[in-house]
Amino acid sequence: MTETNSILIKDTTVISEETKKASILIVDDTIQEISNSLTDDDAEKVIDGTNKITMPGLINTHSHVAMTLLRGVGDDQSLQTWLNDYIWPKEANLNEELVYLGSKLAMAEMIKTGTTTFNDMYFYVEETAKAVDESGMRAVLGYGMIDLFDEEKMKSELKVSEQLIKNCHNTCDNRITVAVTPHAPNTCSEELLIKSKHLAEKNNLKLHIHVSETKAEVETIAKDKGRTPFMYLDDIGVLDSDTIAAHGVWPTHDEMNILKEKEVSISHNPSSNMKLASGIAPINEYLKNEINVGIGTDGVSSNNNLDMFSEMKLTALLQKVNLLDPQVLPTKDTFKMATENGAKALGINSGVIQEGKLADLILVDTLVPHMVPIRNALTNIIYSSLGTDVDTTICNGKILYENKQLKTINEQEIIQEVSERAFEL
């Protein structure tokens, strides 16, 4: 990792709330100054930003990063079959070392495709935390609690979450925060959901949960609880501005009002929703109701990669074709979802390039055939660019990737290890 304390990104095209030419000065972990009068003498390290677009690091608001180990498992199945017959039997064989390796591989992929922050829910989370520590990324990490309505299991799941909070919350220069993450309303008992919320409140943490992902889930909750999933969660006190609900594909009109009133954030996962044929989330409706929506990749075996550039494009195109209206989800709204809205959902002071914000940003190469000409830099980012166009990734003021070289992860070594070890599952 580069140990310089100040970095100047010189003469670059900045895309944030607006697009402009400027230079950016980073000091320690913060964006200190954005102007056209900065010179090479202002920083220890100078990055030439000519022919590059500089933008906020992308924020993945829903992931299970160690699932890189399960890339290619259970393709082309419905959510319930995919989980029961393919994913859960393999996850039963997970161990600390494999989760560490899978997480590390995911971080190599994320850093190379411009993601600086991810919001994760999985198992053996301290191993993912170790990989975050080493990679230099920023993450919100939670232990995916599933009790399947068993009281003893509920108690032991909560204990794991409590231990994780003790060991990992606000560690690694505050790059890691912990969230409480009960898996979903149809895999967790009512008591576990209520106790999860209490645990989150007691420690001032976010609560991250899958909700209203499939029609089958909505039907199960309606049968068991007499209400739709968001209604049920609201009745038991789970929903507020610290809740991040992944998916939200099937909200009713009344649920939409509750989400707005309680200021819940939604994580939209277009690839996963399409691949598992879960449905099309009403993103345009959410945004019209001023509900905060971020974008996520979900786990790799329902995607099958962690490239947030493709998620941005799919987010926009899916709404347009679903509503037969090309004007919905204009580029600035899609961009905001993957950056500023994600930061808001996770409670992180980033997501825009502004003085005083955390220095989480990326440089995208524009000297590639599919990015030329640049009539509108933002349009090229949403519709033309690929994650592999990212040239430099900076997180917390540290360079993690420069000139397409990873600085904190040995790429060849992790590729080789996961290629061999993933089959132990």
Which residues bind to Zn ion, rule: CB under 5 A?
298
Cβ pair 55, 394 in contact under 8 A:
no
For residue 309, give the nearest of 132, 37, 102, 57 by alpha carbon.
57
- Cα separation, 165 vs 180, whole angstroms: 9
Between 298 and 307, whose beta carbon lies closer to Zn ion?
298
Q: How far is the CB of 64 from Zn ion (least distance, A)?
A: 6
**Smallest distance, Zn ion to C-beta of residue 272, A:** 7
Task: State the Rg of the chain over Cα.
Answer: 21
Nearer to Zn ion, 14 or 67 (CB): 67
Three-class DSSP category at 31? strand
Which of 202, 207, 203, 165 lies closest to 183, judged by CA? 207
Which DSSP symbol is given to 375?
S
Element (H, E) at 46: strand 45-48
Residue nearer to Zn ion on the CB measure, 157 or 298? 298
Residue 269 or 380: which CB sits closer to Zn ion? 269
Alpha carbons 111 and 395: distance in angstroms, whole number: 9
Residue nearest Zn ion, Cβ-based: 298
CB of 160 to Zn ion, least distance (A): 18
CB of 145 to Zn ion, least distance (A): 13
We find the least distance from the C-beta atom of residue 300 to Zn ion, in angstroms, to be 11
Give the shortest CB-306-to-Zn ion separation in angstroms. Answer: 13
Which of 11, 1, 6 shows the shortest CA–CA distance to 363?
11
The residue (of 249 and 378) whose beta carbon lies closer to Zn ion is: 249
DSSP secondary structure letters along 58-123:
EEEEEE-GGGGGGTTSSTT--HHHIIIIIIHHHHTT--HHHHHHHHHHHHHHHHHTTEEEEEEEES
Residue 123 C-beta: closest distance to Zn ion, Å: 13
Cβ proximity to Zn ion, 298 vs 417, nearer residue: 298
Per-residue tokens: 368: 């590639």
- Measured from the CB atom, the residue of 12 and 272 that comes closer to Zn ion is 272
